[in-house]
Structure 1
């Protein structure tokens, strides 16, 4: 999928796979006996991509090292049955169409209502429902196949609930945009999953209405699947995959040239392109502090295929699809910190990814 989505949406889902959630290490500002509370939490990370391949279409600039430093600070709490959260991110816009600058932004601001311990709703700027599970079967940090769901969106209404060993969630986002500001239209997505002690599986769906000519992005349908299997107490296997049908405009018509630097267009002739990707992943705990992770990856986008009528006329090193592998090691000095090094072989977007993070 060619919609640029911030790396933070991917990284947020990976934290749960590597560590306890940041909120588990939050500093409690206050906690009342009636259940009301206010927590301060955050994350500080330094690192980046070495040997970055600009032709992969994942980075803003053609250079060897792409910085991926990132920081988050937020407050979350409960007041009666009401939930609230405000989260600020300071990150480098290093993705495709990004500026490359460090930018301070509001990542989340929402109110919610907790019906009971297992069911709640949120309204505002928040994760879409499928965002937390779009990389569920992947144990690596940021070097593998990405399921391009909507991520964080303003104007979102979300429900999530637990039913025994099953979880489900659904969200509706109004008048959404990509991180580059392109209009996407309204988006509905959701997931349902089984979470057992040894085996778990999550299925996610997403659909968007399209921009109706305001951008090149038309309607879209996305199916995602993630699985985990704990083979032993030390070894866990994972699978992640997606299939996407996305309408992309093949033509555009100029409608306003008043400002030569900001011409206005109407996009048309939308055609459906098919994208797919999958990975097998594994994590092996050597000790409570050390673990090895790895993955084998495959993805294909129709606009890469020179034999397709929708080829974007950009020659790639890999043709219509690409495959690559990753192998890494994670060291956790404490329960709330991690140092990660991952190397890639094959048709990957980078040679190495090196990162250190502390969560609180």
Structure 2
């Protein structure tokens, strides 16, 4: 595999990092940063480094696209929802330290307009999620690398939520050509804060009877052991869903299209609009910020549906009281898991 990658460089392919390695891209090929694994999917080939960690566990992923003479280094990491993502950029200043989570949109609330991140736009193709899990189990434990993220990612100023044009541009061009369901959400709540009222646009509901494509197996300490990632097609075969099943939790991650174009960040260019409350991870943030007076609640669990805090991470609370009332979770349990109940927590 290493010889294949070197052959690309010898053949004129150019490394194109967005971060501080722009002037010295060869630093990304030193030691454990060098490519070790290879995945191929659609028009993309992904070369992965050894697993590493900083504030997150990650691979340096070198993304090659058909008919392109560039190789784009990216950061692939696993989110707490257990979905693999690509970082769009990074903000590291005296006051901030976080990675960009993709495209944005303006939303209206009673107290004003807010710029909201569409984190699902950074989700890597569902088809390769299991292979990425497998790669983490090979080789050695992740080693600390404080420099890799800034070497690879373009840095933004404090509070830069919006990604740069290299991420948003391909998505904007794709949206001009193809807009799934006319840009309307494929899933919504008929009644606010009522999980039983979740409905899908015609044809977009998961097809558990005939659309189940199988599952991959991994593990998670946060979720008490064995993890199954199931992929399920919609009734109309236009989108796919990922259902996560652990010994204690079941939830669904945001759906993706089945389009066949991958951009330089390793993700699809098309977006699926759907209500956020359908895709709450098994554990989600729910904590009080004691640095302000009075302490301020930060919660990503629908109000009134908080369970118990995780014994591993007390800032994350159990979202099962919400998820287990979603009709699609109940149907997934009945049809795919055979009515299997979660183990008591």
TM-score tier after normalising by the smaller chain length: under 0.3
More helix by share: 2
Q: Which has the higher strand share?
A: 1
- Normalising by structure 2, we get a TM-score of 0.24
When the two structures are superposed, what TM-score results if normalisation uses the length of structure 1?
Answer: 0.24
